[in-house]
Amino acid sequence: MVLFWFRRDLRLHDNAGLFHALKSGKPVLPLFIFDSDILEKLSDQNDARVTFIHNTITELHCQLKVYSSTLLIKYGKPLEVMQELLETYDVEEVYTNRDYEPYARQRDEQVQKMLQENGVIYKSYKDQVVFEESEILSKSSSPYKVYTPYKNAWKKAFEASMARAYPVEQHLHQLMRHHEGPIPSLQEMGFEPATIQTPLPRLSADVLQRYEENRNLPALDATSRLSPHLRFGTISVRQAVQLAVQHNDTWLQELIWREFFMQLLYHFPHSAQESFASKFRHIAWLNNEEEFQKWCDGKTGFPLVDAGMRELNSTGFMHNRVRMVVASFLVKDLLIDWRWGEAYFADKLLDYEQASNVGNWQWAAGTGADAQPYFRVFNPDSQVKKFDKDYHYIRRWLPEFNTANYPPPMVNHASARDRAIAAYKKSITAF
Ligand code: FAD
């Protein structure tokens, strides 16, 4: 028999690894492991991502029942769970889709090694991206560090057939007849159901066609909200790319940013821990904990920053324009290490994805591979004038705005800006 191991690809349709497993001609038993190594690190019992995964798994479980199969669901360390499964089932092969985050790569290497030592074949497939880390390389065969040439090479290499869906539906009769008892509850794994819901994606032609015009206006519901679905694979990237090709090139370019950051983290895993540009590894961050807390709570006295942080804290989402503003404010105006902000986002974002989070934080901090120049500092008030001039977004998330309860600005932006530029310059000199 064959095990198909679901991870960040929580869907039956258009799933590359599942398709190949079913085509093997052997009975396929689908498996999901709640990875205790990941879950134990989460600080919030009500983590909305765990609830989302749990709900999605429950749904998959029901869909599989139609084929007299079920999902085998385990909780524990993947290596140990796999070892136990080899004792229970006559496993000949394990199929899965590749996951590129540093932790996942290490985990998969260990599992693969153990399986091979036990005579079990391990096969992994590309599913999460259109192009993997080494499929788009520069002329000198090295990874791109700058987005625009990467994007151009990506588009040149792309063919419509690459976004074609895998016809999994035609092969589902290969699923193993199997009956599994109830799914472990959230409570059994130490969690509680979250109140935050993951929104459905907005992929209508109308939203996508008007994307360019409206995407920077946080008061409008003008972006796709696809990110958590791409994170957990409830929608396939091929489907998204097909829609982008059909409707909007600007939106396609956003999907390419995602792959750009993924290949960057793959080739430069150290960038998750330190500034990509070595000249910025000596910045004398102030790292004031009280100020950091004000930023986290949305109490800085800068309305767009505060509205963004409130949106994040109550929904697990923040509009991209506002993410850029709050990130710039933390790093430049407060001179707090971008890694603090990255970690806070990692805790809160429903769409948290290490490559995109690290890549975007380093972009905003000016320390990244292809970042905005360090001396360009967002003015949080001008950003309001440009992108929320009628204060619709601000009022939605900040009811006390313009009342006596709203605090005054915690820093003077002009002098904070000068202070930041001086700190960056000093780091360059020290380098
Ligand atoms: P849309 O605007 O509809 O874009 C479609 C898709 O393109 C997104 O779902 C996403 O997959 C991709 N995309 C769009 N913008 C970017 C971008 N700048 N970088 C990479 N991919 C992009 N995105 C994450 O998915 N996970 C993160 O952890 C994350 N952290 C971020 C941290 C900061 C400081 C900033 C500035 C941005 C971050 N982003 C992250 C990128 C971006 O904000 C979100 O992808 C976007 O807001 C999600 O909303 P949407 O699905 O409606 O996007």
Is the domain of 40 the same as that of 149? no
Amino acid making up residue 141: S
171 found inside a domain: no
Q: What are the tens digits of pLDDT across the range 388-412?
A: 999 999 999 999 999 999 999 999 9
Is the domain of 12 the same as that of 136? no
Q: Kindly give the number of the ligand 1 atom that is closest to the alpha carbon of 346.
A: 28
Active site residue 340: no
Instruction: Among 242, 267, 292, identify where a domain stops.
Output: 267
Is the domain of 342 the same as that of 413? yes
Q: What are the tens digits of pLDDT across the range 352-387?
A: 999 999 999 999 999 999 888 999 999 999 999 999
195 found inside a domain: no
CA of 228 to the centre of ligand 1 (A): 9
Is the domain of 121 the same as that of 133? no
Tokens of 424: 């960056």
The pLDDT of residue 183 is above 90: no
Pocket flag, ligand 1, residue 208 (CB < 6 Å): no
Q: How far apart are CA 239 and CA 12, in angstroms?
A: 13
CA of 224 to the centre of ligand 1 (A): 10
Ranges 54-58, 265-269, 291-295, 371-375: which has the least confidence: 371-375
- Structural domains of the chain, count: 3
Helix (H, G, I), strand (E, B) or coil at 299: coil
Pocket flag, ligand 1, residue 227 (CB < 6 Å): yes
Instruction: Among 127, 153, 175, identify where a domain stops.
Output: 127
Active site residue 397: no
- Cβ burial, residue 252 (10 Å; 0-12/13-18/19+): buried
Is the domain of 229 the same as that of 289? no
175 found inside a domain: no
Is the domain of 248 the same as that of 303? no
* Choice from 198, 254, 347 to test ligand 1 binding pocket (greatest atom count within 8 A of CB): 254
Pocket flag, ligand 1, residue 324 (CB < 6 Å): yes
Q: What is the CATH number of the domain that holds 147?
A: 1.25.40.80
Active site residue 257: yes
Q: Whose CA is nearest to atom 33 of ligand 1?
A: 360
Is the domain of 121 the same as that of 135? no
The pLDDT of residue 22 is above 80: yes
Is the domain of 212 the same as that of 285? no
Q: What is the CATH number of the domain that holds 35?
A: 3.40.50.620
172 found inside a domain: no
Is the domain of 66 the same as that of 87? yes
28 found inside a domain: yes
The ipTM is 0.99
Question: Quick check: 94 and 55 in contact, CB under 8 A?
Answer: no
> How high is the pLDDT of residue 266?
97
Q: Whose CA is nearest to atom 10 of ligand 1?
A: 227
CA of 320 to the centre of ligand 1 (A): 6
Active site residue 152: no
> How high is the pLDDT of residue 88?
95
CA of 321 to the centre of ligand 1 (A): 10
Is the domain of 139 the same as that of 237? yes
Is the domain of 249 the same as that of 302? no
Residues 172, 15, 179, CA angle at the centre, nearest 5°? Answer: 40
> How high is the pLDDT of residue 371?
82
What are phi and psi for residue 32, nearest 5 degrees? -135, 135
421 found inside a domain: yes
Question: Which one of 93, 254, 342, 353 is the catalytic residue?
Answer: 254
Q: How far apart are CA 376 and CA 34, in angstroms?
A: 43
The Cα-based distances of 77 to 32, 110, 111, 154, 369 in angstroms read 12, 11, 10, 36, 34
Q: What share of the chain is helix, strand, coil (3-state, %, to 5)?
A: 50, 5, 40
> How high is the pLDDT of residue 201?
96
Decide: pTM greater than 0.80. yes
Tokens of 198: 């993951």
Mean pLDDT of all residues in 6-27: 98
Pocket flag, ligand 1, residue 417 (CB < 6 Å): no
> How high is the pLDDT of residue 181?
75
Active site residue 285: yes
> How high is the pLDDT of residue 372?
86
Active site residue 5: no
Is the domain of 123 the same as that of 134? no
* Choice from 204, 224, 356 to test ligand 1 binding pocket (greatest atom count within 8 A of CB): 356
**What's the whole-number average pLDDT of the chain?**
96
* Choice from 351, 370, 378, 393 to test ligand 1 binding pocket (greatest atom count within 8 A of CB): 351
Q: Whose CA is nearest to atom 23 of ligand 1?
A: 356
186 found inside a domain: no
Q: Which structural domain, as residue segments, surrounds residue 358?
A: 278-430
